[in-house]
């Protein structure tokens, strides 16, 4: 008895304990089953077969001068073996164990940014990385301290500039002399895009993260890397994607904006305001590159911080590359009427290829866009991007022909979008037969550099893995443990007091 309020018997304890044990066991089995699905190598028809990082390393031998040599490849990309675990992050082509170059006196030299990429996604869990290092040696360097201070100060200035810009141009509807061409919420969205979302990201998450961890650099760099991995910075891709639309609207109302700028005494103007997000995103890897350079020059022995900053710098460079590529997404012409860019999902990468169509047996310059839901192939016609085909990831396989060539094969049991809105079938007789009649070769993509194909395949593999994990979780009934336990405890209390 507890203070005469609750009577607890052995029957109550056994009943509740058994219930809790069953619930915990179910949740553990659910988690183990999810891990088993994640590591499974048995891809269903809804999966796309792409080459793994281990296969890429075998196919591309990189010598000391950085040149690449292709090895003989199998006809169809094999599925991963159980011994090669799935990694959701992309990895570089050369091994992580390559030591940094040294001078004659043994001092570390600055590695190139690409050399940091060599190990930025490898398993860096080691005793040396787990043990905390002494940050005193880092902050004793005046140049490194200056770089960190500049990173924090410019972050605050960036947020203040965005706030001021939104204050000047975010409420134009309240201005009596606003022309009709700029009125309405749609025009405001077209003009400013999602810059408010960018401001919220930096004001509520990035700046507090920096201020809270300015004496713990490893945590700061790791947390920023996790934000990128979790797509928190995708707002920059969205912003750049609609950049041309905003520029055209400003161009059409150039005279009015100049008069308004003089009236509110804004020295920079709306153009300078809207270019700041891209300038800030470009500034991050530059500052981190300076940090890495000074780190090597100072001979600081703190590997965990070095590994973290290299990872972050590489992630930011890749993000900046995708942001620059996203500007062309809305320039795709001749899309099917039933499709818009929103149907394709989040944009991940675009790569230019020399394409050979196995249907029409013609060559053309192509740009292949990778989205979360679809692979989109467009033809480059002078300065235009003309839509050709789109394929869901469950309908295709990818075959690596050589270090600079990859083929796209379509499964006949799935449909693929095309410019004439037709669906491909096994009995169409078009395309080259590969493996059997259920798979047809649609395109062969060739690039002048092997690294372009390698990066493109890695991105495709990551999309495929995410789609496969999402597919494996469908149909599973799983509730948060705290919710389940709370509900059981509430039911027990009700049963106890009522009966």
Q: Identify the burial level of 105 via C-beta atoms within 10 angstroms of its C-beta, where 0-12 means exposed, 13-18 middle and 19 or more buried.
A: exposed
**Domain edges within the chain:** 10-41+479-498, 134-301, 330-473
Rounded CA separation 395/133 (Å): 49
Output the furthest CA–CA distance in the chain (Å, rounded): 88
Q: What is the C-alpha R_g of the chain?
A: 28
Structure tokens at 87: 């990694």
Q: What is the pLDDT of residue 417?
A: 47
Write down the pLDDT at residue 340. Answer: 80
The whole-angstrom separation of Cα 299 and Cα 110 is: 10
Q: What is the pLDDT of residue 240?
A: 93
Give phi and psi for 22, each to the nearest 5. -65, -45
Q: What are the angstrom distances between the C-alpha of 164 and each of 178, 245, 274?
A: 19, 22, 12
Residue 456 zone, left/alpha/beta (φ > 0; ψ -120 to 50; rest): alpha
User: Which residues of the chain register pLDDT less than 70?
Assistant: 1-16, 19, 23, 26-27, 30-31, 33-135, 413-437, 473-485, 496-499
**What single-letter DSSP state applies at residue 6?**
B
pLDDT in tens, 96-155: 333 444 433 333 333 334 334 444 444 444 444 545 566 677 777 788 889 999 999 999
Using DSSP, state whether 421 is helix, strand or coil: coil
CATH code at 134-301: 1.20.900.10
C-alpha 175: how far from chain center? 39
Output b/e per residue, 338-376; b: 16+ Cβ within 10 A. eeeeeebeebbbbbebebbbbbeeeebebbbbbbeebbb
CB half-sphere exposure, 411, CA atoms < 13 A: 15
CB of 90 within 8 A of CB of 121?
yes
pLDDT tens digits, 339-397: 788 888 899 999 999 999 888 889 999 999 999 888 999 999 888 899 988 888 888 88
223 vs 155: CA distance, rounded Å: 16
CA dist 280 → 114, 162, 170, 198, 310 (Å): 21, 11, 20, 11, 19
Q: In this structure, what token pair is assigned to residue 232?
A: 């928190």
What distance in Å separates the CA atoms of residue 369 and residue 356, rounded to the nearest whole number? 16
pLDDT tens digits, 404-415: 889 888 887 544
The second-level CATH assignment, the architecture, of 330-473 is Roll (2.30)
How many residues are listed for the chain in this entry?
A: 499
310 vs 130: CA distance, rounded Å: 17
Number of H helices, E strands in the chain: 17, 12
Residue 383 has a pLDDT of: 82
Task: For residue 341, give every residue at least 6 positions away whose Cβ sits within 8 Å of its Cβ, in sequence order, or none.
Answer: 241, 329, 330, 332, 335
491 phi and psi angles, rounded to 5 deg:
-65, -40
Helix (H, G, I), strand (E, B) or coil at 126: coil
How far apart (Å, rounded) are the C-alpha atoms in residues 154 and 161?
Answer: 10
Query: Coil, helix or strand for 198?
Result: helix
d(Cα 102, Cα 109) in Å, to the nearest integer? 6
| 443-452 as b/e: b if 16+ CB within 10 A | bbbbbeebbb
* Cβ pair 391, 417 in contact under 8 A: yes
What pLDDT is recorded for position 24? 76
Cα–Cα distance for residue pair 440/435, rounded to 1 Å: 9
Who contacts 354 (Cβ-Cβ below 8 Å, separation ≥6)?
363, 365, 366, 445, 446, 447
To the nearest 10°, the Cα dihedral for 106, 295, 286, 223?
A: 130
Closest CA to 377 of 366, 361, 364: 366
Closest CA to 155 of 287, 272, 305, 317: 287
Residue whose entry in the numeric block shows the structure tokens 């005494």 = 265
Between β-strands 436-446 and 432-434, what pairing exists: parallel, antiparallel or unpaired? antiparallel
pLDDT at residue 452 in the model: 86
């Amino acid at each position: 008895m507890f203070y005469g309020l609750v009577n607890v018997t052995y029957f109550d304890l056994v009943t509740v304990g058994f219930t809790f044990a069953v619930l915990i066991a179910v949740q553990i089995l659910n988690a183990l089953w999810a891990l088993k699905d994640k590591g499974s190598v048995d891809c269903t028809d809804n999966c796309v077969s792409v080459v793994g990082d281990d296969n890429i390393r075998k196919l591309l031998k990189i010598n000391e001068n950085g040149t690449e040599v292709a090895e003989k490849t199998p006809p169809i990309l094999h599925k991963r073996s159980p011994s090669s675990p799935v990694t959701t992050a992309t990895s570089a082509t050369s091994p992580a164990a390559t030591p940094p170059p040294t001078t004659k006196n043994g001092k570390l030299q600055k590695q190139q940014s690409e050399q940091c990429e060599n190990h930025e996604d490898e398993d860096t869990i080691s005793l040396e990385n787990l043990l905390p290092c002494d940050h005193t040696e880092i902050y004793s360097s005046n140049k490194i301290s200056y770089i960190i201070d500049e990173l924090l100060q410019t972050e605050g200035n960036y947020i203040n500039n965005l706030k001021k810009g939104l204050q000047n141009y975010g409420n134009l509807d309240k201005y009596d002399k606003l022309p009709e061409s700029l009125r309405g919420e749609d025009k405001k969205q077209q003009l400013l895009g999602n810059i408010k979302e960018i401001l919220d990201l930096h004001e509520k998450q990035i700046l507090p993260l920096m201020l809270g961890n300015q004496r713990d650099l490893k945590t700061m760099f790791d947390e920023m890397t996790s934000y990128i991995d979790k797509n928190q910075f995708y707002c920059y891709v969205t912003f750049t994607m609609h950049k041309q639309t905003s520029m055209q609207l400003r161009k059409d109302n150039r005279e009015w904006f100049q008069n308004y700028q003089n009236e509110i005494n804004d020295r920079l103007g709306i153009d300078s305001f809207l270019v700041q997000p891209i300038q800030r995103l470009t500034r991050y890897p530059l500052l981190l590159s300076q940090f890495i350079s000074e780190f090597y020059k100072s001979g600081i022995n703190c590997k965990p911080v070095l590994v973290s900053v290299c990872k972050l710098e590489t992630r930011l460079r890749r993000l900046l590359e995708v942001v620059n590529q996203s500007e062309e997404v809305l320039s795709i012409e001749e899309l099917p009427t039933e499709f818009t860019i929103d149907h394709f999902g989040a944009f991940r990468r675009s790569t230019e290829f020399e394409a050979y169509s196995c249907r029409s047996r013609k060559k053309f310059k192509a740009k292949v866009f990778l989205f979360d839901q679809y692979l989109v192939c467009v033809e480059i016609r002078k300065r235009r991007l003309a839509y050709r085909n789109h394929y869901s990831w469950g309908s295709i396989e990818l075959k690596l022909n050589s270090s600079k060539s990859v083929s796209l094969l379509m499964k006949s049991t799935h449909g693929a979008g095309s410019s004439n809105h037709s669906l491909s079938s096994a009995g169409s007789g078009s395309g080259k037969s590969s493996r059997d009649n259920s798979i047809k070769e649609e395109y062969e993509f060739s690039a002048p550099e092997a690294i372009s194909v390698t990066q493109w395949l890695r991105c495709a593999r990551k999309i495929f893995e995410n789609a496969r994990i999402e597919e494996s979780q469908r149909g599973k009934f799983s509730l948060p443990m705290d919710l389940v336990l709370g509900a059981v405890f509430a039911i027990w209390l009700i049963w106890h007091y009522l009966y």
